[in-house]
Amino acid sequence: MTDNKTIHNFYINEEQSIYLLSHHDAKKHKQWLKICQKQLSLLGYDHVEMIGSGAFGFVFSGSDHKGEQWVFKFSRITLAQAVRDRLEDEAYMLSQIDNPLVPRFYAFERIKKQGILMMARAPGEDLEKFSLKHGRLSPQFITALALKLHSVLLDLRNHKVGMSLSPMVHGDIKPSNLVWDDQQRQLSLVDWGSSVYAQEDGHGNPIASNIMDLMSHDLQHSNARMGDVYFIGDEQMAGLKSSPRFDEQGVASTLYALASAQSCRFGNVVIPAASLGLPQELANVIDGMLSKDKSIRDGAGDYFLRNMPNMAKAYMPQLPQVDIKSAVPFWHAESANRPDTVVYSSRKSFLRQADAGLVLKDVNDAQLERYYREFLIDMGDTEKAFLASISRLAKYPVVGGLSFHWKEEQLFIESSLILHDITLKKAFTDAVNNTVKIAQGIVQKGLFKCCLFDARTTIQLPRNKQGQLEFEVLPKIHYQVMNVTATELTRPHSYFEDGKDPDEQLTLPKEVLKGVFALNQIHHTGCIIVESLPDRLKVHHYYRLLDPSKEQLFNAILQKIMASIATITDYGVAGFMKLPYKNTRQFDLISKQADHFYPRNPKQLLSQL
């Protein structure tokens, strides 16, 4: 055993996997999805399937009798009726648009209280999914996409109602709202739920087509809607009056996120667009548009609108691919059941700091709820980017754990990651490297731990009215057995035994701690998180035994741990993680990654190779 004394914890899952819902809720959810599917079949649509979901709703596709592909959007039943009613506003805005980049509006129907928005299906898959598969997208792809988004911005600005100019704001431009058909190279902009008519022109002037309009408009209040808090700009976040600038921000965030393989805009301080191998002019425009300084931001936005067609004309041949190495190692294992990964993390408190100047407009919003739930409200941008990068890791079929320890001038990372789909190796490497680079940019000292596990294997025990756990046979904690090389076995390893976790909520029975210390004598990796709720107890876990000769003992200890967990009556979350080595990697702190551009003269460079 190592010389440290105490052990600790993990908490708060990011996104609910269906496997983590209670049996009752999971059943209700599945039933609801089935009802939606059945309703659509009754309406005469074939091949009905769910194709997407967001904070606001679920989206199904189906085909009509002519074989045309339709999309049906349902709002989540768990949202307040007032929020759900916005689907009708979305339908109205979509019906106002006639543009080849936007799926055509078909109808808005109501079945009892459930509204259904019906529209054409955009071909392809959304760019968030595409980015998760491919990792960082090439400078050629980003440049071509920037040109397409440039025409989206112009179309929105030039939108007319009758004869009069009435610019529209989409309000939620981000990778998952851009559907991309890679074969036809066709882009579509979906999800018009945040869209409004612009109140201002982006230079502080009100927009009104005539003087009557100007008088009848509410000039005092913003009509802006919240977009995704990971992608919108400061003005939209602060609920200022709507303007075409909102969508410039969405475009810049999208290009940045896709070029860097992140799921948000916040990493820009540490990993600027100027470090991503993009052409210098485009990189500088993106960084300018993401600036905290409004005049730089607006200037860069104007530049983008004026110059993007020219920038896209540059000759950009493919350069030889460099094989990118992962900054921390990960392993690969194929399994019959792809894990449904969920991440739990601990010790977020030290990442918080006042993010001054943000006045929040409307808390009764599904997006904002997320903002609070994920504790982003009082964090700096780099800290937000760090947490978003951890969430992105959990979008991959991966189990394992990570610990980041920021000390004086160094960052120490311990890790154990197992990826369950080798085709995602490149994209996952990009995701891991972003997490490391952003972590290198964090200046606070502290410790952050996260654990990625397969929600399918979570053990759930319901409580009865008296609070006692109900089960006939105590479920078993499962594990895998692996034979690892002798050299790996000799390296030191440990549970986290580094002082009490400030975010700890649940005190575990002594027997559990004893079991965990006993496990520590056996070579393995793994994690266990106990989440004790008033109506049930959940045990999330993954274990890999690395010394097959100890299997009997290992199994006996795990089942003993489970037996003591079943005696827990307190509520809260607590857990332990064991990583294979101590201080796997050591990194310098780097506040900003160095410039790296696509070569000015690629021909010359290629001829030298």
Ligand X SMILES: Nc1ncnc2c1ncn2[C@@H]1O[C@H](COP(=O)(O)OP(=O)(O)OP(=O)(O)O)[C@@H](O)[C@H]1O
Q: Which positions touch ligand X (CB under 6 A)?
A: 51-57, 59, 71, 73, 103, 119, 121-122, 126, 176-177, 179, 190-191, 193, 228
What backbone torsions phi and psi does residue 252 show, to the nearest 5 degrees? Answer: -65, -45
Minimum CB distance to ligand X smaller for 155 or for 369? 369
Which residue in 342, 324, 346 sits closest to 398, CA to CA? 342
Q: Using CA atoms, how far apart are residues 409 and 160, in angstroms rounded to an integer? A: 56
Minimum CB distance to ligand X smaller for 122 or for 512? 122
Kindly state the tokens that stand for 330: 């990960």
Q: Using CA atoms, how far apart are residues 178 and 503, in angstroms rounded to an integer? A: 38
Sheet holding 125-126, edge to edge: 125-126, 178-181, 186-189
Minimum CB distance to ligand X smaller for 228 or for 503? 228
Q: How far is the CB of 83 from ligand X (least distance, A)?
A: 11
Q: How far is the CB of 366 from ligand X (least distance, A)?
A: 7
Q: What is the dihedral of CA 142, 146, 147, 148, to 10 degrees?
A: 100
Beta-sheet pairing, 480-481 with 186-189 = unpaired
Minimum CB distance to ligand X smaller for 81 or for 210? 81
> What is the residue type of 300?
A
Between the alpha carbon of residue 470 and those of residues 125, 162, 461, 541, the distances in Å are 43, 65, 6, 20
Q: Using CA atoms, how far apart are residues 225 and 199, in angstroms rounded to an integer? A: 12
Q: How far is the CB of 128 from ligand X (least distance, A)?
A: 7
In the chain, the largest separation of any two C-alpha atoms, in whole Å, equals 85
Burial class (CB in 10 A: 0-12, 13-18, 19+), 483: exposed
Q: Using CA atoms, how far apart are residues 79 and 66, in angstroms rounded to an integer? A: 34
Q: How far is the CB of 271 from ligand X (least distance, A)?
A: 23
Q: How far is the CB of 392 from ligand X (least distance, A)?
A: 16
A 10 A CB-CB count for 220 gives 6
Bridge partners of residue 331, in order along the sequence: 418
Minimum CB distance to ligand X smaller for 191 or for 501? 191
Q: Using CA atoms, how far apart are residues 138 and 120, in angstroms rounded to an integer? A: 29
Q: How far is the CB of 519 from ligand X (least distance, A)?
A: 40
Q: How far is the CB of 50 from ligand X (least distance, A)?
A: 9
Q: How far is the CB of 264 from ligand X (least distance, A)?
A: 13
> What is the residue type of 375?
F
Minimum CB distance to ligand X smaller for 126 or for 531? 126
Minimum CB distance to ligand X smaller for 370 or for 425? 370
Minimum CB distance to ligand X smaller for 192 or for 428? 192
Residue number of the CB atom closest to ligand X = 54
Kindly give, in sequence order, each residue whose CB lies less than 8 Å from that of residue 309, ignoring residues fewer than 6 positions away.
147, 150
Q: Using CA atoms, how far apart are residues 236 and 253, in angstroms rounded to an integer? A: 13
Q: How far is the CB of 176 from ligand X (least distance, A)?
A: 4
Minimum CB distance to ligand X smaller for 86 or for 524? 86
Kindly state the tokens that stand for 467: 């609070």
CA atoms within 13 A on the CB side of 598: 26
* Cβ density class 379-403: b for 16+ within 10 Å, e for less: bbbbbbbbbbbbbbbbbbbbbbbbb
Q: Is 73 known to sit in a ligand binding site?
A: yes
Q: Using CA atoms, how far apart are residues 321 and 25, in angstroms rounded to an integer? A: 47
A 10 A CB-CB count for 307 gives 14
Which residue in 309, 310, 312, 272 sits closest to 289, CA to CA? 272
Minimum CB distance to ligand X smaller for 12 or for 55? 55
Q: How far is the CB of 38 from ligand X (least distance, A)?
A: 20
Q: How far is the CB of 174 from ligand X (least distance, A)?
A: 7
Minimum CB distance to ligand X smaller for 40 or for 119? 119
A 10 A CB-CB count for 408 gives 6
Between the alpha carbon of residue 107 and those of residues 53, 94, 120, 236, the distances in Å are 20, 10, 10, 29
Binding-site residue ranges: 73
Binding-site residue ranges for ATP: 73
